Structure 1
Amino acid sequence: MPEPEARKKAILIIDDEENMRHMLQSMLRRYGYLIETAEDGVQGLDKIGQQRFDFVLCDIKMPRMDGMTFLKASREHLQNTTVIMMSAYGSIDLAIEAMKLGAYDFISKPFKNEEIRLTLKKAEERERLKSENLQLKDKIQRIAGSLSFGNMVGKSPAMQQVFSMALKVARFDSTVLITGESGTGKELIAQGIHQESERRSGPIIPVNCASIPESLMESELFGHAKGAFTGADKDKKGLFEMAQEGTLFLDEIGEIPFSLQPKLLRVLQEGEVRPVGGTKSKSIDVRVIAATSRDLGKEIAAGHFREDLFYRLNVVPIVLPPLRQRTDDIPRLCRFFINRFNESLNTRIENISSAAMAALMRHDWPGNVRELENAIERAIVLAEGHTLEADNFFGGTTSTADSHPGEDEDAGDGGFSLKVAKARLEARMIRKALAATEGNRTHAAGLLEISHPSLLSKMKLYGIK
């Protein structure tokens, strides 16, 4: 992708001499700065109240409000602005006083044009180094002791390595390929990279390539022109254009049709898209992060994925480990999800029993973190008190639980009938889900992972109102 053009620096020139303002304005514009001017400190205060400036060049001796008074009055507005004072009456004492009030440098008039330019360049370099040092310090602190990245949680060495790599790549526009099993949090890593990048003020557009019909995918990604096909009654922007100056997250990139892969490759290489039915290409400024749960090496060998596209996507690879390989993170993830669901479900779960935690640590988690999240939500719905017990997870129907709750009571009435036991368990879970959602059947169906019509049918069957 082409690099975005650097933002031009804005300078406010405050001087009561019109010739000086004109000279500085003409010279600095030639160097690529954006210029505003003010005749005295009063006008200068008004300007900095309306707009942010990178630099202020301010004369000291002026009518109405002189430069030193301006410095004192403008402290709140100039915390991130470099101020350079100018005076024909320069002295060391005056320069020291200006520095104490927050000025970066002091230049005596008359001065050469090159002197102003070098002073600004030196100030820019100082600000750049200061910013890089702050970023580096922040990164070191995060890598050394952070337990999270964006909305992801993890203290295990494997996840700390993932967080470290994600933080490093976030500073650049390099294409990232995130791989890992379903449910490991690939989209969360992509969101974290976007939020840590210079593109954070732009959009992040997620698209699941597996969910778009093959016949519509080209139009969805690149847009189409009016009349390009039946039903195209107007021009439509594609997802690449919608992600302008932001990030496009292509989830399940392994599902993209082979016939469309050359066009995607060209977009990544040229930084341009051509809408379906269009005659002109459009420049785009988009960072691409792709993800897949497939083994793209096998897909290439089978002739389903282009090798050149793989190498263009795989500039920076990030591999997310499955939950079974980082079981040390399970207790912390459980606490994270309990806090989240306590807020969204208005519950007051405080902890997990040791027996339940032991069962969770033993479980294989084929669905990874997503499965754990669903298990915690279901357990909260079924919980009787403020502690999640082993029999709250999966209704005691999987290897997660230590025991098989309900065996004794089911055997007492209905014998060993699995059909009767299943009906009782279903009725119990439906009642709990409805209670947790205050009777919201749509939400309850979501918790139970069944369709709304299926829930209504089961409520009728079990006499639940």
Structure 2
Amino acid sequence: MDILNKDLLIIDDEENMRHMLTALLTKSGYRIDEAADGSEGLEKVRQKQYDFILCDLKMPNMDGMAFLREAGTYLDATTVIVMSAYGSIDTAIDAMKQGAYDYISKPFKSDEVCLALKKAEEREKLKRENFQLRERLKSIEAHCNFANMIGKSSAMQAIFRLSEKVAQYDTTVLVTGESGTGKELIARGIHFKSDRSQEPFIAVNCGGIPETLLESEFFGYRKGAFTGADRNKKGLFEEADGGTLFLDEIGELPRALQVKFLRVLQENEVRPIGASKTRKVNVRILAATSKNLEAEVQEGRFRQDLFYRLNVMPLRLPPLRERPEDIPLLCRHFIRRFNENLKENIEGISPEAMSILIRHKWPGNVRELENMIERAVILTDGAILSAEHFSLETGHLPEEDLFESLFEGYSLKAAQKILEKNLITKALSATGGNRTKATQLLEISHPSLLTKIKAYDISL
């Protein structure tokens, strides 16, 4: 944890407690100030901006709750952790309503304080990253169609329009698509275009958490709920309260836990492990999966009722091979980014190399293209990326095998018909069925295209 130049204020009426915490946290690298009660603490926060405050709740003159109320806007950029030997869960909740971030019960071990501060530092880092992301999204808006996603194809433009609209509501969205198509990017875009943009966006991969820890990670737990539960822990639903929780790879969620997720979506409430009561949460759910959830429902691996709850607004992200017209645009975007990050000055891609990229099948989608461009930028010594910088399979057969696979026999007329049908179908697919654009790719007239579509019985 990077704690250099972090200012921390300790507010406690017990001199021994202040001395102990000062000695402990000074060794950890914090710059410490002390206050004997809330009034003295209030004077200090009016004069200086602190990164963290450890504040006791029970103090003479002005207690911790009064300090939180009076300090108000002075604590906007400060993380406050309250301490008390007399508190309860209700006390902790009240303190957090007044702006405190966490609660520590006295007596506590020294590592509990360090752990709480580490967690607070990680939270501050996340807030900074979210802020930087929002600023970055604004700065590249001229180059992007929706949030941080790029695409001029008709398929992506339709996705962008729908995402822009759905961002204004709290509707649950299910984003589907192959790995690397940008499901998390579209979810982040929806969040940052919404009224919740100033609140947390928490992304979690449902397949990346051990099954035994899933319930405690999502719902949290109370101290003493099980062996090792030595403190209260918020779950991800509570962490995202007021904001958005992005459930990536929701199809990996064990069936036993699916019913609990269904209750959160239906009732907007969670019950931490070991708690006797449920707690209301205000969380927008965005989910994503690379699986066919309808097939998973039919196979009995995914609950039908949960699928319907998630699939209120479906968004399917097309694979890159279905929108090759976006590849040049994406290449320019990635070259600009890597020029900046790697201090290079790449001007573009040669026509031969671009032809290879457009013909490639891209099983890894946009993520694969991004990695490919980065590698090429590193490998080149010139200003233009050429074919030799891209080592990939185009997904096409060798020329002899290609002709053998298209037709049998030796008739040139038959070969011409098969080849024409193949190219027209490919052009229509690449342009999303736009006949005018297809004629431009095929270099034929519009009436000629219509005649051939009818003659070859090509379905759009």
After TM superposition, give the deviation of residue 369 of structure 1 in Å.
Answer: 0.3
The equivalent residue for 2:394 is 399
Separation (CA, whole Å) in 2 of partners of 1:200 and 1:239: 17
> More displaced, 145-154 or 341-350?
145-154
Q: Is the 8 Å Cα contact of residues 383 and 392 (structure 1) preserved in structure 2?
A: yes
The equivalent residue for 2:232 is 235
Q: Is residue 327 of structure 2 the alignment partner of residue 330 of structure 1?
A: yes
- Change in Cα spacing, 1:269 to 1:382, as seen in structure 2 (3 Å) is same
Q: Is residue 335 of structure 2 the alignment partner of residue 373 of structure 1?
A: no
Q: 1:303 aligns with which of 284, 300, 303?
A: 300
After TM superposition, give the deviation of residue 320 of structure 1 in Å.
Answer: 0.4
Give 3-state SS (helix, strand or coil) of 2:179's partner.
Answer: coil
Separation (CA, whole Å) in 2 of partners of 1:379 and 1:244: 43
What one-letter code is carried by the residue in structure 2 that aligns with 1:258?
R
Unaligned stretches of 5+ residues in structure 2: 1-72, 74-140, 399-460
Larger Rg: 1
Q: Is the 8 Å Cα contact of residues 393 and 400 (structure 1) preserved in structure 2?
A: no
Q: Is residue 161 of structure 2 the alignment partner of residue 158 of structure 1?
A: no
TM-score (norm 2): 0.55
Separation (CA, whole Å) in 2 of partners of 1:197 and 1:315: 17
Q: Is the 8 Å Cα contact of residues 210 and 255 (structure 1) preserved in structure 2?
A: yes
After TM superposition, give the deviation of residue 399 of structure 1 in Å.
Answer: 3.3
Q: Is the 8 Å Cα contact of residues 219 and 237 (structure 2) preserved in structure 1?
A: yes
Q: How many residues align?
A: 259
- Change in Cα spacing, 1:344 to 1:269, as seen in structure 2 (3 Å) is same
Separation (CA, whole Å) in 1 of partners of 2:341 and 2:228: 41
Give 3-state SS (helix, strand or coil) of 1:148's partner.
Answer: coil
After TM superposition, give the deviation of residue 230 of structure 1 in Å.
Answer: 1.9
The equivalent residue for 1:168 is 165
What one-letter code is carried by the residue in structure 2 that aligns with 1:297?
E
Q: Is the 8 Å Cα contact of residues 393 and 401 (structure 1) preserved in structure 2?
A: no
- The percentage of counterpart residues that share the same residue type is 60
After TM superposition, give the deviation of residue 147 of structure 1 in Å.
Answer: 5.0
- Change in Cα spacing, 1:333 to 1:227, as seen in structure 2 (3 Å) is same
After TM superposition, give the deviation of residue 402 of structure 1 in Å.
Answer: 12
Separation (CA, whole Å) in 1 of partners of 2:366 and 2:377: 17
What one-letter code is carried by the residue in structure 2 that aligns with 1:150?
A
Q: 2:337 aligns with which of 340, 351, 364?
A: 340
After TM superposition, give the deviation of residue 146 of structure 1 in Å.
Answer: 8.5
Q: 2:264 aligns with which of 267, 271, 277?
A: 267
TM-score (norm 1): 0.54
What one-letter code is carried by the residue in structure 1 that aligns with 2:215?
E
Q: Is the 8 Å Cα contact of residues 155 and 323 (structure 2) preserved in structure 1?
A: yes
Give 3-state SS (helix, strand or coil) of 2:234's partner.
Answer: coil
What one-letter code is carried by the residue in structure 1 that aligns with 2:200?
P
Separation (CA, whole Å) in 2 of partners of 1:256 and 1:277: 22
The equivalent residue for 1:316 is 313
Separation (CA, whole Å) in 2 of partners of 1:400 and 1:334: 19
Q: 1:209 aligns with which of 199, 206, 210?
A: 206
Please identify runs of 4+ aligned residues in structure 1 that moved more than 2 A: 397-403
Q: Is the 8 Å Cα contact of residues 251 and 291 (structure 1) preserved in structure 2?
A: yes
What one-letter code is carried by the residue in structure 2 that aligns with 1:219?
S
- Change in Cα spacing, 1:402 to 1:346, as seen in structure 2 (3 Å) is farther
What one-letter code is carried by the residue in structure 1 that aligns with 2:326?
D
What one-letter code is carried by the residue in structure 1 that aligns with 2:180?
G
Unaligned stretches of 5+ residues in structure 1: 1-49, 51-141, 404-465
Separation (CA, whole Å) in 2 of partners of 1:344 and 1:250: 30
Give 3-state SS (helix, strand or coil) of 1:153's partner.
Answer: coil
Q: Is the 8 Å Cα contact of residues 164 and 190 (structure 2) preserved in structure 1?
A: yes
Separation (CA, whole Å) in 2 of partners of 1:400 and 1:298: 28
Separation (CA, whole Å) in 1 of partners of 2:187 and 2:372: 24
Alignment of 1:117-266 (within 5 A): 147-266=144-263
Separation (CA, whole Å) in 1 of partners of 2:396 and 2:197: 43
Separation (CA, whole Å) in 2 of partners of 1:146 and 1:168: 20
C-alpha RMSD over aligned residues: 2.0
Separation (CA, whole Å) in 1 of partners of 2:204 and 2:155: 27
